[in-house]
Amino acid sequence: MPVTPIIAPEQFEEVMELSKYRLIIIDFWAPWCDPRKELSSHFETMSNDESLERIGFYKIDIDALPFVAQKCKVSVMPTFKCFRNGVWAGEINGSDRDKLDKFVRAQAQKA
């Protein structure tokens, strides 16, 4: 399943409701953040990995939805946050592809 863009605050609230029943990982990104380009591509590839099909993959452009970024306390680009049972369950920051891969797979083990 491809990464789904969250483009409105109401959609973010719907995804948070969904996280009560499904593991959600959100890529908080910005167009001006160069390191995110490679990671976003890898995140997209992971979203199509059958072994990770229990995870919902989403992305939010923090420039388009600054209120949501503030609400989620995003202060570093890129940031990947995990939500489970309707609440924050972990995150990673920075542009380390291996770290992202390990983070997502570790979260999948808990799903």
Each residue's pLDDT tens digit in the chain (111 positions)? 799 999 999 999 999 999 999 999 999 999 988 877 778 889 999 999 999 999 999 999 999 999 999 999 999 889 999 999 999 999 999 889 999 999 999 999 887
Q: How long, in residues, is the chain?
A: 111
CA angle in degrees (0–180, nearest 5) for 66-68-71: 110
* pTM score, whole prediction: 0.95
Q: Using CA atoms, how far apart are residues 87 and 96, in angstroms rounded to an integer? A: 25
- Residue ranges of domains in the chain: 4-110
Q: Which CATH class is domain 4-110?
A: alpha beta
Q: Are 94 and 78 in contact (CB under 8 A)?
A: yes
Beta bridge partners of 24: 56, 83
For 81-104, b/e burial (b = at least 16 CB within 10 A) is bbbbeeeebebbeeeeeeebeebb
